């Protein structure tokens, strides 16, 4: 079910029509002022989709990186639910299209990823899940797997001083497994979904813009660039958006949408992650929310992307 390697003009036109609506959906309702950072280099759903379609065959794969550590007041380290949910949802969509997937997440996030993979709405299995750090050099592992595309969804990016920071300006370097090197001078296409300036991919944005518009921005902004950055109100929403574009591009768009782009599928993954210990990155607790936004609003967002894809299905 891998799509054709050259997207037809009709598909290009559909993507062009979708872009304005999709970008508005991605940014509207976020909690970290990401819309103030939007510009020419911060929306790439159409480019990401076309890159995925153009660079895949049955012998290659897409790798998805996620996992942002949350350090609680008692110094316990948990992982936030923004990122992992989108990663598993997107992985399932790619598997539906016949694309091989590798999921990369810190070992402390493995129980969360595994719990979601085991739900009936996950379309991938544990064989695609790799804990970080890996025993063998990760670049070698990705090369051997014939990785064509590496996607980061809400993973810390290194700052200008070589450290990693959370949204509060706290140095979390001791709890981060550095992955920035996988996005520099690589044989694969790189892309990222980010929402606050301190994630992999935000090096595509002028650091002064992050400094001026994001709290603690002058300290936390990431310098790691990618080929295709998509800025979101919540990083999970980027996965929703990309699935909507892939649905429009696929001959099996209805199947893809009904499997991966529904509130039911999203809710089941959310509660599986919650049960496994994932926390809201803003409230730093389990509050039935992601980035301080109630689950119902995220379900409304995924429904909106379903309707967007349905509107432009060829």
> Two tokens at 174?
């001791």
**First vs last Cα of the chain: how many Å apart?**
16
Looking at per-residue confidence, does 119 or 181 come out higher? 181
φ, ψ of residue 135 in degrees (nearest 5): -70, -35
Say if residue 101 is preceded by a cis peptide, omega within 30 of 0: no
Given a cut of 70, whether residue 7 has pLDDT beyond it is no
95-136: per-residue pLDDT in tens? 998 899 999 999 999 999 999 999 876 678 788 999 999 888
Given a cut of 60, whether residue 2 has pLDDT beyond it is no
Given a cut of 70, whether residue 30 has pLDDT beyond it is yes
What's the pLDDT at 8?
66
pLDDT bucket at 1, cuts 50 / 70 / 90: very low
**What pTM did the predictor assign?**
0.95
Percent of the chain exceeding pLDDT 90 equals 82
Rounded to the nearest 10 degrees, what angle do helices 235-249 and 253-260 cross at? 160
Pairing outcome for strands 69-71 and 129-132: unpaired
Looking at per-residue confidence, does 136 or 303 come out higher? 303
Is the separation of the CB atoms in 62 and 151 below 8 Å? yes
Largest pairwise CA distance in the chain: 55
139-155: per-residue pLDDT in tens? 999 999 999 999 999 99
Given a cut of 90, whether residue 239 has pLDDT beyond it is yes
What's the pLDDT at 232?
97
- Say how many CA atoms lie within 13 Å of 177 toward its Cβ: 16
Percent of the chain exceeding pLDDT 70 equals 96
- Find the mean pLDDT for residues 1-6: 41
Domains of the chain listed by start with CATH number = 9-312 (3.90.1640.20)
pLDDT bucket at 250, cuts 50 / 70 / 90: confident
Looking at per-residue confidence, does 208 or 314 come out higher? 208
DSSP 51: H
- Find the mean pLDDT for residues 195-212: 95
Given a cut of 60, whether residue 6 has pLDDT beyond it is no
31-51: per-residue pLDDT in tens? 888 888 888 789 999 999 998
């Amino acid at each position: 079910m891998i799509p054709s390697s050259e997207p037809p003009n009709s598909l290009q036109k559909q993507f062009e029509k979708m872009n304005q609506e999709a970008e508005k959906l991605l940014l509207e309702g976020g909690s970290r002022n990401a819309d103030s950072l939007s510009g020419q280099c911060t929306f790439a759903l159409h480019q990401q989709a076309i890159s995925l379609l153009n660079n895949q065959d049955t012998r290659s794969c897409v790798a998805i990186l996620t996992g942002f550590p949350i350090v609680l007041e008692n110094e316990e380290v948990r992982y936030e639910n923004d990122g992992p949910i989108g990663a598993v949802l997107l992985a399932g969509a790619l598997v539906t299209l016949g694309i091989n997937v590798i999921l990369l997440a810190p070992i402390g996030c493995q129980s969360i990823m595994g719990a979601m993979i085991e739900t009936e709405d996950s379309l991938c299995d544990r064989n695609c899940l790799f804990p970080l750090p890996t025993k063998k050099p990760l670049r070698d592992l990705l090369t051997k797997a014939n990785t064509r595309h590496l996607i980061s969804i809400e993973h810390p990016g290194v700052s200008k001083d070589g450290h990693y920071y959370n949204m509060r300006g706290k140095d979390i370097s001791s709890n981060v497994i550095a992955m920035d090197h996988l996005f520099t001078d690589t044989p694969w296409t790189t892309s990222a979904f980010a929402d606050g300036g301190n994630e992999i991919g935000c090096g595509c944005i002028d650091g002064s813009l992050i400094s001026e518009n994001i709290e603690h921005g002058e300290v936390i902004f990431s310098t790691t660039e990618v080929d295709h950055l998509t800025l979101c109100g919540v990083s999970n929403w980027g996965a929703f958006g990309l699935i909507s574009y892939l649905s429009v591009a696929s001959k099996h768009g209805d199947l893809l949408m009904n499997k991966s782009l529904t509130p039911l599928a999203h809710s089941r993954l959310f509660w599986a992650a919650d049960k496994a210990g994932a926390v809201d990155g803003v409230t730093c607790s389990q509050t039935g929310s992601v980035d301080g936004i109630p689950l119902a609003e995220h379900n409304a967002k995924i429904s909106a992307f379903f309707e967007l894809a349905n509107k432009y299905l060829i």
